Chains A and B, each alone.
Chain A
Amino acid sequence: MANLQVSLGKIQFSNPILTASGTFGTGEEFSPFLDLNHLGGIVTKAVTREPRAGNPHPRIAETSAGMLNSIGLANVGVDRFIAEKLPFLKGLKCRVIVNVAGKTIDEFAEVIRRIESAGGMDGYEINVSCPNVKEGGMAFGTNPDVTAEITKKARQVTDKFLTVKLTPNVTSITEIAIAAENNGADALTVINTLVGMAVDIRSRKPKLATITGGLSGPAIKPVALAKVFQVAGAVKIPVIASGGIMNVKDVIEFLITGASAVQIGTANFVNPKISEKLVDDLDSYCEEHQINSIEEIIGTLKLND
């Protein structure tokens, strides 16, 4: 057994395999398929202050090697989350990070504060990158000042691990990354989905009710790698990679490029056991390649002089 433990500043994960928000519910949905405690951690579906019904149908469409979604942060709201989901999550031995979203700058801190009052979780992921909501979401994460403000306010209500999930739909992702780092983020999640679109040529209608949605899956992996490379080179805090990871080779690519951990997203829909399998595959990979500790390979990308 190789040592798969990774340290991301103030928090350790038993291995670098996490699940991406919005693709794993609150973990319970996947209990029939795998042992959640074998994962490094799970990141919950976004939680907002008020319940949200989400966007109209159709919300998803398949594209080449990927999918578009426009769920619109459908969730039961923080109070029901605390009452109905938190007890299950507290019983888990793996790390649990709660993804938090909001329509206003203050809402993020308010959601975290309420969860902290209920005992809190291991950490929070600030979602300033959802492309599918009219208010907040990506509109916040494309603005460094707003990202800074939201991160600062979240920092004021918790000492726990805080990662800010960045959108790739910007001119300069490093500018946003630095704004989050300077205002108390412990890590950065790179990347949320890319704005995309698909058209049904028979009806001549967009395939999503919201016209555009967020593209995920293996189609976006090269974009995610490039963004991880850029962000890891611009900040001192750890980077958690997300974007199209399907197999252990993809995991290794992101770790070499500078990510300290990874999130598995769309692949969970294709194979509900994939996250646990990747933990095993990563262990086998380390044994085969005589890697004693997975941290040895993080950020070891070889560049020409």
Chain B
Amino acid sequence: MRANTDTTIRLATGKILAAFSVTEDIKKIRISHRQTAECALPGQFINIKTSDSLFPLLRRPFSINRTNPAQGWFEILFRVVGAGTNALAQLKIDSDIDFVGPLGNSFSLPDKSQNSVLVAGGLGIAPLEFLAQKLTEEKLSAHLFWGNQSSEAFSYQKQFSRLNLKTFFATDDGSLGFRGNVVTLLERELAALKDENICIYACGPNPMLRALQNFAAAKNLTCQVSLETMMACGFGACMGCNVEKADGSGYFYVCQDGPVFDIKEIRIYG
């Protein structure tokens, strides 16, 4: 993991350039803010004030999903689940958007000899797509394993055409790709690949990460994982975003020590 040694963290105002609906409840927003587009790294996030009202009061953290430094914009991808994301989904084109960022550390890119394997569960695709963008820019290819509950979200895969990705999909209901969870699919495909020199990057719900943690440990594979959690400030003051260290010696903080962690160093529940 690359530590955030950046001094460019700021309270910023961007402008919403475009908004897209991937499905009824999955949205993508394009935000114009040149400095963020230029300096953000894969794995980093921003903390958005989604409304001016007192509820929701706190900011909401979102992974940076894609950047376009030349045009000075970046995108976030999210599911509408509560008051914060609902307010965000209501924002109109051209409205201002108040955010703090870019925050947190970032994924360490693989050695040239390593093959990157991206493992996403649901909206865990958000930071991994940005990583895939960077790998593509570096002329590196990657395998993407993406699991979803149903096939609906896969309409999003057209976004991958600009990326150097070989894709493997899984659905819980078998409506698209492999029927079952994405880690089982990963195990099966990696056995076929017979490639030991891989570097796994993952983001998704805790049960998926837990399964991946066991798999990576059993196969002695390196795995960087991006965590999502509740937080208030996003820059180390509130201490609300703790995650337990694997050795039991205390806590890391997702906003500062993460959100990207070596999967061996943390305890994952659920």
Contact = CB atoms under 8 A, between A and B. Distances in A.
Interface of A: 23-25, 29-30, 32-33, 45, 53-54, 56-62, 64-67, 69, 71, 74, 217-218, 246, 266, 268-273
Given A53-B250, A60-B231, A65-B55, A25 B240 contact: no
A168 to B, nearest CB: 20
Nearest to A27: B237
Contact of A60 (B230, B249, B250): B230
B154 interface: no
A269 B237 contact: yes
A64 B238 contact: no
A29 B57 contact: no
Given A54-B251, A56-B244, A218 B237 contact: no
> What DSSP secondary structure best describes chain B's contact surface?
loop
B7 interface: yes
B59 A25 contact: no
A33 B54 CA distance: 22
A134 B81 CA distance: 34
Report the contact-size class of chain B (Cβ under 8 Å from the partner).
Answer: 20 to 34
Interface string B244-264: 100001110000000000000
Contacts of A218: 54, 57
B197 interface: no
Given A57-B244, A269-B233, A32 B56 contact: no
A71 B7 CA distance: 27
A269 B59 contact: yes
Contact of B57 (A32, A53, A217, A268): A217
Given A53-B251, A269-B232, A23 B57 contact: no
B101 to A, nearest CB: 11
Contacts, number: 91
Given A33-B10, A272-B11, 11 more contacts: A30-B237, A57-B242, A57-B251, A60-B240, A61-B230, A62-B58, A69-B238, A74-B242, A217-B57, A268-B233, A270-B49
Contacts of A32: 7, 9-10, 235
B183 interface: no
Interface in B10-34: 10-11
B244 A69 contact: no
A67 B250 CA distance: 24
Nearest to B253: A74
Contacts of A23: 237-238
B229 to A, nearest CB: 7
B239 interface: yes
B57 A59 contact: no
Contact of A67 (B57, B241, B244): B57
Nearest to B235: A29
Contacts of B229: 57-58
13 contacts: A23-B237, A32-B7, A33-B10, A59-B240, A60-B231, A60-B241, A62-B230, A65-B57, A66-B57, A272-B11, A272-B233, A272-B235, A273-B11
A54 B242 CA distance: 9
A69 B230 CA distance: 11
Given A268-B233, A269-B232, A74 B239 contact: yes
B232 A271 contact: no
A246 B100 CA distance: 18
Given A57-B242, A71-B239, A65 B7 contact: no
A25 B57 contact: no
A59 to B, nearest CB: 5
A232 B9 CA distance: 41
Nearest to B6: A32
